[in-house]
Structure 1
Amino acid sequence: MVLKDMNDIRQEADCLRSAAEVEEALTRMAQEITEAMDGTVPVGFCIMNGGLFMTGRLVDKLPFALELDYMHATRYGAETTGGALNWKVRPERSLKGRTVLLMDDILDEGVTLAEIIKYCEDEGAEKVYTAVLVEKMHDRKAPGVKADFVGLQVEDRFLFGCGMDIAGYWRNLPALYAMKEQK
């Protein structure tokens, strides 16, 4: 895509949540996470690439000792629909007996998140918490998948901004946008 196309997409998109609403959601999530993790020394994992925005904005609001790392598993790549899980970077540190906080941009169908949770449990994590900035509201979620901490719930549309992209672009927007629906 060319710059004009990217700018046109943003101009035509619907802003679902403002930057202020996103910031408020992150602050609330941090309070909930802090209460839940009281007395633990967790390891937090940013799920790349989408989780980078949220993780960066969330961790400075967490007032407890936190080891921070990342993992990279995707079903999307530059596509708009998911396929098989592709591990690009697995955690190098031991998860045995650890409390784990997984931080990602979105819970859509939950297939990727479910596989990452299972991986952490198989590696011996004592407890795995999940935090997502956005949860899409629909009935297509993988059975039993839910996030422990959710910032915003939105309608089922193609989203970008706040870590989510369109063709690899616009992850950097501080507000949450949805593609204009085709009529």
Structure 2
Amino acid sequence: MPDSLKILFTHADIEQVIQRLARSIRQDFGQEEIVFVCVLKGSFIFTADLVRAVANPSVVDFIRISSYRNGMTHGNVAITKDLETDIQGKNVVIVEDIIDSGITLTSLRNMLLTRKPKALKICALIDKRARREVQIEGDYVGFSIDKGFVVGYGIDYAEKYRNLRDIFVVEEGE
């Protein structure tokens, strides 16, 4: 259980970042339709706000993936809830809450590329480059942070704190 939460990004900060990301996405895709792939559960609030800000014709679909490690493998990724939308020949934007190690997101990107989208981009609310274990970059990134465990705005700690409007860093007690 977190000892305390310290505000990292206010809701106003988040709204400004979403407008910037939406402008970049519109610039890249014009008025073309976009399939937004919301990576559950952490990015559901971010996805809803982003899709409204982009305002292109769009389809929103959801995917849930789990990753786990065992003694001999670096990381295994499994889809636990797949897309219902056929993305072949379509513009696709993966919407992720945090790019952390990059292992899960790299696997997801590679899985989706096999479905032959017209374009595949990654939009992340937060990028934690210091924790990267594989080389992957977001095409659209909201905030960059070095370290810290964050909650709020859809991001959880043990399924709690998703409902907070701001993003907080968890501070552990001395």
TM over 0.5: yes
Q: Is the partner of 2:171 in helix, strand or coil?
A: coil
Q: Is the partner of 1:117 in helix, strand or coil?
A: helix
The one-letter code sitting in structure 1 at the alignment partner of 2:166 is A
Q: Quick one: distance in 2 between partners of 1:132 and 1:141?
A: 14
**2:40 equivalent in structure 1:** 48
Structure 1 residue 182, shift from structure 2 partner = 5.0
Please list the CA deviations of residues 132-166 of structure 1 after superposition, one character each: whole Å capped at 9, or x if unmatched: 1111131x324330100011112311111122111
Q: Quick one: distance in 1 between partners of 2:76 and 2:168?
A: 26
Structure ranking higher in strand proportion:
2
Structure 1 residue 83, shift from structure 2 partner = 5.6
1:170 maps to which of 144, 161, 171:
161
Q: Tell me whether 1:32 sits opposite 2:14 in the alignment.
A: no
Is contact 2:103–2:134 with CA below 8 Å preserved after alignment? no
Is contact 1:13–1:178 with CA below 8 Å preserved after alignment? yes
Please, which runs of 5 or more residues in structure 1 have no aligned partner?
A: 77-81
Q: Is the partner of 2:17 in helix, strand or coil?
A: helix
**Superposed structure 1 runs of 4+ greater than 4 Å apart:** none
* Identity percentage of aligned residues: 23
1:22 maps to which of 8, 14, 20:
14
Q: CA RMSD in A?
A: 1.9
- The TM-score normalised by the length of structure 2 is 0.88
1:136 maps to which of 109, 128, 137:
128
- The TM-score normalised by the length of structure 1 is 0.84
Please, which runs of 5 or more residues in structure 2 have no aligned partner?
A: 69-73
For this pair of structures, how many residues does the alignment match?
A: 169
CA 1:164 to 1:130, structure 2 compared with 1: closer, same or farther past 3 Å? same
Q: Tell me whether 1:69 sits opposite 2:61 in the alignment.
A: yes
Please list the CA deviations of residues 96-115 of structure 1 after superposition, one character each: whole Å capped at 9, or x if unmatched: 11111111111111111111
CA 1:100 to 1:142, structure 2 compared with 1: closer, same or farther past 3 Å? farther
Q: Tell me whether 1:116 sits opposite 2:108 in the alignment.
A: yes
Q: Tell me whether 1:101 sits opposite 2:101 in the alignment.
A: no
Q: Is the partner of 1:57 in helix, strand or coil?
A: helix
Q: Is the partner of 1:75 in helix, strand or coil?
A: strand
Q: Is the partner of 1:13 in helix, strand or coil?
A: strand
